[in-house]
Amino acid sequence: MLIIKNIHASVDGKEILKGINLSIKPGELHAIMGRNGSGKSTLANIITGRDNFLVTKGSITYNGNNLLEMSIEDRALAGIFMSFQYPVSIPGVNNAYFLRAALNAKLKHQGKSEINASDFMRLIREKVKLVNLDESYLSRAVNDGFSGGEKKRNEILQMLTLEPELSILDETDSGLDIDALKTIAEGVNNFRTETRSFLAITHYQRLLEYMHPDYIHVLIDGKIVKSGDISLANQLEEKGYSWLEK
Amino acid sequence: MPNALAVAGLLFQYRANMKNNQSIIDSAISQEYEYGFTTDIDQEKIPPGLNEDVIKIISSKKQEPEWLLDWRLKAYKQWLKMDEPDWSKLNYDDIDFQAISYYAAPKQKEKLKSLDEVDPELLETYNKLGIPLEEQKLLSNVAVDAVFDSVSVTTTFKEELEKHGVIFCSFSEAVQKHPDIIKKYLGSVVPTTDNYFAALNSAVFSDGSFVYIPKNVRCPMELSTYFRINAAKTGQFERTLIVAEEGSHVSYLEGCTAPMRDENQLHAAVVELVAHKNAEIKYSTVQNWYPGNPKTGKGGIYNFVTKRGTCLGDNSKISWTQVETGSALTWKYPSCILKGNNSIGEFYSVALSNNFQQADTGTKMIHLGKNTKSTIISKGISAGKGQNTYRGGVKIMKNADNARNFSQCDSILIGENCGAHTFPYIDVRNPSAQMEHEASTSKIGEDQLFYCNQRGISTEDAVSLIVNGFCKDVFNELPMEFAVEAQKLMEVSLEGAVG
Amino acid sequence: MAREIKQFQKQFDNLLAYWPNEDPELRKLRSKAFDQFKSLGLPTKQWEEWQFTDFSSLKKINFRLSQSKDLPQIPENISGRIPNSYLIYIVNGHYQKDLSEIPESISISTGIDHFQSNKELYIDNNNLNPFSALNTSMMNSGICIALDSNTVIDKPIQVIYSTIDILNPLMNHPRFIFQLGKNSEATIIEHYKGSTELAYFINPVSNVILEDNAKLCHFRIEEDDALANHIASTNYILNSDSQLNSVSTSSGSKLFRHNINLAFNNKGGYATINGLSTIKNDQHHDQHIIIDHFHNACQSEQLFKYILSDRSSGVFNGKVVVKENTQHTDADQANKNLLLSSDAIMNTNPQLEIYSEDVKCSHGSTTGQIDSEALFYLQSRGISKSKSIELIINGFAKDIVEQINNEDVKNYINTKVTNWIEEVLIDA
């Protein structure tokens, strides 16, 4: 469903990604591991379309379409979702309102009728429980005054509501205690189906213990230097990254 | 038939809001300025120009008492000696005060018995304004009478109000029926010499509304006035006076629209509020005068308004909330004079300047009494070539022990060609005062836009979402239905702000 | 012609007569500036930018330009001398070359010499500040310090402009020019010191130019006599990637007005401009700051604090202007005021004028008295009330003092502030 071919990308003239190849099929969970600054988040930003990155070479296709030519919202509407590492706050805009706007944008895109406020509230109350958030959260402003854990749960809640095909989890485990981590992993695991795919970006393997990835890729200095199964993550845990560096 | 372009004058209407009412404009919101139609009804207008005779004609048409004519003439003489203020950041061509007609009203007709007798054009106007037919019927002669015959109006609401002793009528009617109150308070908050435009208004004001809330009465419903400028080459000069006696409470709303015309029209209103001991007045405005052509900047209303309230008694409170999305020019500083001890002044404002609009608006809080408190929350939005200025004064005078002020003025910029300016004037003359002012200006958050886009929300919707969130603190102060209207207005007014 | 203008005219004529052989171009410049001054007159309450300050004291007294006979006996100890620094010493408008200590690596010239080779620096384009015009017309003292490219001065240069033992109400119009060439670095202390029994009028204009990548710490210390009228303009021009750290303290003069204008002349400039005014009795201190962000990626920070006692009054007016189509502007402006007496008055007007989208600008202002909670807290820890107050005021001033990155200057200011607080508390 997602095919990345030889992607090179730079920011402010500095090359960050130096030829990435990656292919994700429906139902697969891929994990990308690497140190800070290895280019992991850049990859996520390029897939979602943040415009301060310049793709200098290579291609990304998503369900056969040229992803790099699509606008940010069109990519989202096509089923790509990113759980942000640092979700931004939008003061004054309440969560329920925001999420309904997003869901309606999606429904409209699919040619379906929009969901009315009461149906939406029923739906969202269900989902809120799944991520262990308090219902009062719905009337608070988007990410405003949220703790780190609440923000991450909110991201997962949005994922569960918008039901994307491809979810990119950008450092979703960072800053979480073990209980929150379990809640989130469980949310993701229950959400997994044969058609939904995931790309988890992390530099610890602890999230992966709960999430059972099909593939692990190690990113060093803008390149995937090694791919393998979960045992690779365990090796990294033991030996660190340096044995993979030239 | 009258000339189709030089048609009906100011349309002036009251409505008392019912609980589950749809907002006035709710249904009528769409992409472009919706209220830009003119109404083709028979009207009476005196030729353009201003001199003592014109003032005498206005006064005699309204059958005003001698003292009021004298008051007008005195104001006129003072106005002649005054200079137009030039300290604002507004750029506009000189106003030719002799090219304006100072009186335009629909022609006096026989008093009407039913809706059927109303000029169909006028009813059409109401329909276009989105006032539901049901409500028109309900209001029946309110609207009709208010327009065609400013003397007597009877409505169910009015009876309800009368039961509580609340007076709510046109200014002209109040002059006839409650001359003592008018005489006592007219000009007591905004003296005729206060400023150039207030002096002009004092000389030529056409009508306006009057509210009187007796002692210990909590006004049973929200009162509202709906203003509309219709006639061409006409100025509008209304005057509002609200007196809240000891222990009373009232919430008042005003809404404004005007037709699309290529020439600029002048609106110079004066609003005076008086709150006695323990009384509270909440005054909300949603101003959506025609902003001018979005592409050329031609036309639009010049809105020069003086609004001021006095917290005369101890523990009184005056709260201004404004949402200013319309007008080519806005020059407006709703203010509070905090005389009574423990009195409270509040100012919540959203001002949007898109395309060629210019707004220079803010407030003045003058602390005279002890333990007085004021809060200023101002949100400015600039887009297109719009220029938005916050100008506010906080004065803490010598005897105002323990006065408190908190001001927060934030501006958001959308696009490269707009401007946002913040000019607070702070004068503290008492050391026990606590004065705190914060302001920020920044462009609309790119991270926020990206976040919304990533959730599938289009950039245009995202801007509107973010801006509405930015204005939340102010919208929260509006009565529910106005808040909804304000939110929609923001969306419409931001139309085209992002490339 | 108003009486006071006549008086200035007389002084102007005397000056032209005193230096009959001046460069004709300089004379032309003076005359043009004086005409400008005459057409403007002294500011009145109707002038928006000057409305809170009363200049009538300049009308009441006939100030005479300082002459050579006004040079007093030079005291042995130079008052206000800051250790470990070079010195440029000026007394009642007269440069004391022999007492000055000047580093070899810089060039020093007096105004008239400097004018010959730098005429373009003196062009005054339609200046609407009458005092600045007055300075140009009568500039009679001052010094130009020029640093070549890549020069780094090891110690601060202290310029002391001292007014002492005058026998008539004198006036002086010093013109300072500080030019820092590319990549050069310096610390300059511009120090006004006065001790007199008569009123005087000092009207300095300082033009400070930083070429590309130059770094300047500019500390301005105003300690004129309590009878003085000190009206000043400081104009900074910052070229590419240059950095300015400006701290200005004022505690002297009955009437003090300082206009600070800063223009980023190219991209990447960085400026912090801080000020501390400590005033008492019936002193009036008025500061107007304008920062023009006319180029990309410039950053400015302002913090001005006032501590007001007795019947003193303060005015702060700060303006940040961001021109259209500039990118990445970052500007912050803050004004904080502490009122120590019920008769003190503070007038503050922080302004943002922004015509570009890509900005991050903020300002804040607070005015209040000593925080009673903080006072209570300190007292509850056994510190006496007066000591507690002293600590709180000192803490309030500290933000500014800490911006001074030279220990000797910092110690000097610290001592002055502490003494000032003690005096105010004893009087109260």
Distance between CA atoms of residues C141 and C153, nearest Å: 24
| pLDDT confidence band for B228 (50 / 70 / 90) | low
B454–A76 CB contact, under 8 Å: yes
The model's pLDDT over B119-143, given as tens digits with 9 standing for 90+, comes to 565 556 555 555 544 444 433 333 2
- Quick one: C258 and C375 in the same domain? no
Question: Distances in Å between the alpha carbon of C85 and those of B48, B220, B292, C78, C81?
Answer: 75, 77, 64, 13, 9
Residues C11 and C128 in one domain: yes
Predicted ipTM of the assembly: 0.88
| CB-based contact A233:A202 (threshold 8 Å) | no
CB contact under 8 A, B448 and A88: yes
Residue C104 belongs to some domain of the structure: yes
C342 neighbourhood in chain B, CB within 8 Å: 398, 430-432
Which of these, B92, B83, B90, B82, lies nearest to B423 by C-alpha position? B90
Q: Does residue C339 fall inside a structural domain?
A: no
Element (H, E) at B349: strand B344-353
Amino acid identity for residue B115 in this structure: L
Residue C23 lies in a domain: yes
Tell me the mean pLDDT in the region C267-295: 96
Domain count, chain C: 2
Instruction: Print burial letters for C263-281: b (CB count within 10 Å at least 16), e (below 16).
Output: bbbbbbbbbbbbbbbbbbe
Q: Do C364 and B414 touch (CB under 8 A)?
A: no
Distance CA B256, CA B287 (A): 5
Average pLDDT of the residues in C25-42: 93
B432 Cβ contact partners less than 8 Å away, ≥ 6 residues apart: B401, B402, B403, C342, C369
Q: Which of the four pLDDT bands, split at 50, 70 and 90, describes residue B260? A: low
B430 and C CB contact within 8 Å? yes
Residue C317 lies in a domain: no
Mean pLDDT of chain B: 80
Listed residues C266, C287, C321: the one ending a domain: C266
Domain that holds residue C383: 371-428
Note the pLDDT tens digit of each residue in B461-490.
899 899 989 998 898 888 776 777 777 777
Q: Please, is B80 exposed, middle or buried when counting C-beta atoms within 10 Å of its C-beta (0-12, 13-18, 19+)?
A: exposed
Whether B16 shows a pLDDT value over 50: the answer reads: no
Single out the residue in C212, C239, C266 at which a domain terminates.
C266
Which domain-ending residue is among C266, C295, C314? C266
Taking alpha carbons only, the member of A161, A162, A148 closest to residue A89 is A148
Kindly give the confidence (pLDDT) of every residue in chain A, 246 residues in length, as a single tens digit, with 9 standing for 90 and above: 899 999 999 988 889 999 999 999 999 999 999 887 788 889 999 999 887 788 999 999 999 999 999 999 999 999 999 999 889 888 888 888 889 989 999 999 999 999 988 899 899 998 988 888 888 888 888 988 888 888 999 999 999 999 999 999 998 887 788 888 888 888 889 999 999 999 999 877 777 888 889 999 999 989 999 999 888 888 888 887 888 876
Does residue B466 sit at the A interface (CB-CB below 8 Å)?
yes
pLDDT at C197: 93
Domain-located, residue C353: no
How many CB atoms are located within 10 Å of the residue C101 CB? Answer: 12
Confidence category of residue B40, pLDDT binned at 50, 70, 90: low
pLDDT for residue C22: 86
Chain B residues with CB under 8 Å of A92 CB are 468-473
Of A240, A244, A155, A235, the C-alpha closest to A200 is: A155
**Residue C271 in contact with residue C331, Cβ under 8 Å?**
no
Task: Provide the CATH number for the domain around residue A178.
Answer: 3.40.50.300
Site from B358, B404, B429, B432 to mutate, C interface, most C CB atoms within 10 angstroms: B429
Mutation for C interface: B437, B444, B446, B449, most C CBs within 10 A = B437
Classify residue C281: in a domain, yes or no.
no
Chains touching A by CB (3 or more pairs below 8 Å): B
Cβ(A217)–Cβ(A224) below 8 Å? yes
Contacts of B440 in chain C (CB under 8 A): 361-363
Indicate the residue of B455, B457, B469 with minimum beta-carbon distance to A91: B469
Please count the helices (runs of H) and the strands (runs of E) in chain B: 13, 23
Residue A105: name the closest of A139, A79, A138, A83 by CA. Answer: A79
Residue B106: pLDDT over 60 = no
pLDDT in tens, B279-319: 999 999 888 888 888 888 888 888 999 999 999 999 999 99
Tokens 């409305």 — which residue?
A: C51
Higher pLDDT, B159 or B138: B159
> For a pLDDT cut of 70, what percent of chain C falls above it?
99
B112 by DSSP, 3-state: which?
A: coil
pLDDT exceeds 70 at position B197: yes
Give the angle subtended at the CA of C351 by the CAs of C348 and C355, to the nearest 5°: 175
Q: Which amino acid is at C6?
A: K
Contact across the interface for B398 and C361, Cβ inside 8 Å: no
Confidence of residue B320 (pLDDT cuts 50, 70, 90): very high
Q: Is residue C94 in some structural domain?
A: yes
- Domain boundaries, position A151: 2-244
pLDDT at B8 over 60: no
Query: Taking a C-beta distance cutoff of 8 angstroms, is the pair C156, C82 a contact?
Result: yes
CB C283 within 8 A of CB C307: no
